[in-house]
Structures are given as C-alpha cells and as structure tokens.
Amino acid sequence: MSDTFQYFQFAFREVGPASGEIFRFIQSTDIEDEHPAKIFVHQIREKLKYIEGISGGYLIKKNSPVSVKQGSVQIDQTELQIGRQISGYLKEASSMALFVCSAGPVFTDMINEQSQQGNIMEAYLLDAIGSLTVEKAMDHVQQVLSDEMRQRGMHISNRYSPGYCNWELQEQKKLFSLIGRNPVGVTLTDSSLMIPAKSVSGIIGIGRNLRKRAYGCKICNNSTCTYRKIIDEQNEEYK
C-alpha cells in the first residue's frame, strides 16, 4: 500500500446537507416553512452552492499489533493511546488510514460574522451546516477508501477521532505528526483544536479479518458528540 496522501476536493453542492438533514440534526423537524430558520437555511444553501473549499484525504501506514490491554497502537515510532474501546474495534487491523478533512474557513468566518451581529439563530444553523458538511465530505473519502480496500480483499472499520469514543483530544498532535504535510491545510492550536474549526481527523482500521462495528455511544463519555447526533438522526430517519 502506498503511503502517499490521497487527496480529494469537493464543492458544497456535492457534499452539503439537504434542508431536511439540517433540521433533523438540530432536532427541529416540525417547524413551518415560513419560520425564519427555514428561510435562512434555504438562502444560505443557495449562497454556499458554489463554494469549493472543502477537501480531505488519507495516508495509509502499517501498524504494529493493536494492544487492547494497553489501549494503544504503534505506527512508525509513534504510539497512539487510542483507549481500550477503540482498540477493541481495531484489534484485527494491520494498517491504518490516517485521515483529515475540512470544510474550510468559510463556515468559521460566517459563524463569527453572524455572532458578532447578535444573530444567534443564524450562527447556530451555520454551525450545524458546517458540522454536517465536513462529515458528509469525509463519508465520500471513506467510501473511496472502502472501495479501494475491497478490491484488495480487505475491510475497513468505522472512523475514530481524538476527542471521541474516549480517545483523548491531546493525542491529535501525535496523529498530525504522523500525517505530516498535506494539502488539506488543517493546523492545530496549543490545546489540540483544529483550525479551521469545521474539520475532522482520525484513523480508520484496515485488515482482512476486520469487521466494521457500530459506534459504542452507550459507553462513551462525550454527551455532545457530533457522531452521536448524526447516528440519532439516521436512526430517526429509518423509523
């Protein structure tokens, strides 16, 4: 497997969430079409339609055997303390796809602009749209990885990120050191937060005997997790 960073670019019209997805995500599906929130979402989706600064990709690296007991995995000379929960999901992985994906700075700029004007509802809706956009872009990237690995007789796991599934956020610095220079352009603050804010990073396990397991939301300590909200939204959609 090549350790070259595989890079993808998207326009909002390709990966942006539909209006219904946005309102399911914020758990507000019963508001009228004339509500200011519905009007704003329609207007902002039209405005964002031709935005193209959304990008992401992955780098594949071999890993040492995952230690469930220690809650860790070693890649190159770096040991990632991913925790026992994620280690259990990745114990059959022989390689890892290290990923980073970003919706770009446009959402941060628009959210800040609305917040400074005191437009709390608009800022909140933009925050939700930005979160969904980067996750949907990463869904596309992950599907490319899955298709590529399937052709090689391999399977992939779900994706796991620092700050989620009991993986400490500060581990993100180790992850970024492994990814190295890449065209996505995401950087970290001293407290390991990503810039632009609407970005995601993490690992995806790869292995012949690996099974994709459902996220363990019931045993995770993060009650404000974006993945939890997206999963809840998907469950609601299929009821």
pLDDT one-digit tens code per residue, 200-220? 999 999 999 998 888 765 545
Instruction: Name the residue with higher pLDDT: 36 or 165.
Output: 36
How confident is the model at residue 126, as a pLDDT? 98
- The H or E element that residue 80 is part of is strand 78-80
- Domains assigned to the chain: 6-237 (3.40.109.40)
**Alpha-carbon gap, residue 124 to 111, rounded angstroms:** 8
The predicted model scores a pTM of 0.89
The token pair that represents 67 in the structure block: 């230690």
Mean pLDDT of the chain: 91
**Alpha-carbon gap, residue 150 to 85, rounded angstroms:** 25
Q: Name the amino acid, one letter, at 14.
A: E
Q: ∠ at Cα 52 (49, 54), nearest 5°?
A: 110
pLDDT band at 13 (very low <50, low <70, confident <90, very high): very high
How confident is the model at residue 239, as a pLDDT? 46
Q: Give the pLDDT confidence of 125-166 residue by residue, as tens digits.
A: 999 999 999 999 999 999 999 999 999 999 999 999 999 989
Percentage of the chain surpassing pLDDT 70?
Answer: 89
How confident is the model at residue 164, as a pLDDT? 93
